[in-house]
Amino acid sequence: MGEYQPSRELVLSALGDHKPESNREIVEVTGLSQSSVYNALALCWKRGLVLRTAEPLYEHERIFRGRGGLTQTTRPYHLYLLKPEEVDSTVVDGHRFVGYDPKYLDARGGGKISKAQRILMFVQSHANKAFFSTEIAEALADEDVKVRDVMSNVRRFEVKGLVYVRGYKTDERQTPFKRGYLITWLDPQKPREEAIEEAVQRTDGALEGKMSGSPLMERVHRGRDMIIEHSKLRKLVSFTYLENKLDCTPYKAERALSRAIQLYPDLKEIKLFGAYRYYYHTSLDPKDLEAAVKMKKSYIRIVKGRANRIGHNWEAVAEWFIDKFMTGAKFWTQNHRVRSMDSRRITLHLLKSVGGRRNNAEVDRVWEVTPSIFAPTISYVLSCKWGLVTKRHVDDFLDVLRWSKDFGVDTPDGRETKQGVVGVFAASAFNPREEVQLKDGSMISLGQYTARRDLRLLKASDFNQRLRERGCPKEVTVQKVCKRARDEEEVRQTLDPIWKQPSRSKEILDSLLHTNEDLFQFEKMLEETKE
């Protein structure tokens, strides 16, 4: 042991100012080699001459390696302190310094089982299974193993041929699955080909029902499956449906379906009215294909036609005026599976079927207003109807409110609308000729009947009156805004400048005729091609 005495004296001398020093700092002061200082410090710590930090500190290093470039690493290290008399531990600058104890030994020094050993032992002891890197980290969390520890060590085991690592594979690289890379044991006692085949089978089992290839190819396969499924049902499937089911951006869906058609010639695309894309499999009988095309064309005329667009625009008009003139209105929002559906349109759960709707019914808007801190919140529910409104429309809306889980309540007199809930019916016009007979035999107008049922009425004439008061000419009406705007967003973008600049309102409204000319021509074509 005498050969180490000079090194120990120099190390203890370097710590003589009672300031914490690292191994590297002591090397610089003493001029000794790094191994000599390391060995001397270890011996001094064991003999109770110095204290060492209980936990390692970490330092990010950037090392220039000449032509090899710049490398980066995180280096763990300890600080050492000359041991004060009769003191076994102390705290300096927020770091706890302790005397020697086996429990403070680092795994890298052989004092205990390292994280790398624990990870390898876990994979080997579960050799008949495959685990995601996050699952291994969760299983070894009590040993302070992190996901970064798993992959940094697994890559070394992979080089040694001890584990099989699987992720998304592309032409150029491999990327992790959503839960990380899949890892399983490679039995070194078996022929290499057999061991790899078994590892692939284990990872296939772990991936069953999950993405097993690249994200693009997974979407290609899922898209093909859905197209075949619809063809077996003698139906066409739309691009929008596939996009929603693939749960990706339009660009990714576009790429996946283009690739699917390229790889599988039995998949076909057809455009209806030169604008709407549908897909089918060649196994679909020609007669069934012809019938499916006719059905989709009929559906497009109804859903994509002029009446449907104007109806949605009328909802946006009512919403805009409510938002403008009702102080403190807070609209409900709701995420929908169909991304194009307005988030302010609300789906209600029904406790009883209403008008053929079994479980759910849509209302056009729901908003709340709290008049003051002393008054209860009032909930307003809006139903919009473009065209002539009849008693049947009013009764249907009231039934939806009564039988909805959110706005209805059971009473001794039957199902009623909750207190504090106000129904609002917005219509372009109410049938002036329709009368309603009461129980006593008397007759009242539809407007009077609606008022008696505690419904608020909003008519196009009410909104137009607001525009007149603002200074807009009589040629500017909300009906024209509905007919000329492309969609609900354009309704809002049109009403805002009309309200701010009433003198230019006619010019603003007329500009829509030119802007949306292509839309009007398409809707005209739909009408002319009715079969």
Retrieve residue 340's tokens. 């194009």
pLDDT lower than 50: segments of the chain:
1-4, 109-110, 530-531
What's residue 401's pLDDT? Answer: 92
- H or E element in which residue 2 lies: none
**What letter does residue 104 receive in the DSSP assignment?**
G
d(CA 21, CA 44): 14
d(CA 31, CA 43): 19
With respect to residue 108, please indicate whether it lies within any of the assigned structural domains: no
d(CA 267, CA 280): 6
With respect to residue 16, please indicate whether it lies within any of the assigned structural domains: yes
What's residue 478's pLDDT? Answer: 92
pLDDT in tens, 203-224: 888 877 665 556 777 788 888 8
What's residue 110's pLDDT? Answer: 47
Given 47, 79, 101, the domain boundary residue is 101
Is the domain of 385 the same as that of 489?
A: yes
What's residue 497's pLDDT? Answer: 94
pLDDT in tens, 323-380: 888 888 888 998 876 666 778 889 999 988 887 777 888 898 999 988 887 788 899 9
Is the domain of 333 the same as that of 447?
A: yes
What's residue 220's pLDDT? Answer: 86
Measuring CA to CA, which residue among 246, 274, 276 is closest to residue 260?
A: 246
With respect to residue 46, please indicate whether it lies within any of the assigned structural domains: yes
Given 303, 326, 349, the domain boundary residue is 303
With respect to residue 530, please indicate whether it lies within any of the assigned structural domains: no
d(CA 127, CA 138): 18
The CA-atom distances, in angstroms, between 510 and each of 290, 434, 500 are 41, 35, 16
What's residue 263's pLDDT? Answer: 85
Is the domain of 58 the same as that of 192?
A: no
With respect to residue 55, please indicate whether it lies within any of the assigned structural domains: yes
149 in helix, strand or coil? Answer: helix
Measuring CA to CA, which residue among 360, 357, 365, 362 is closest to residue 314?
A: 365
- 25-61 burial: b if 16+ Cβ within 10 Å, else e: bbbeebebeeebbbbbbebbbeeebbbbbeeeeeeee
**What letter does residue 343 receive in the DSSP assignment?**
T
Is the domain of 124 the same as that of 75?
A: no
With respect to residue 384, please indicate whether it lies within any of the assigned structural domains: yes
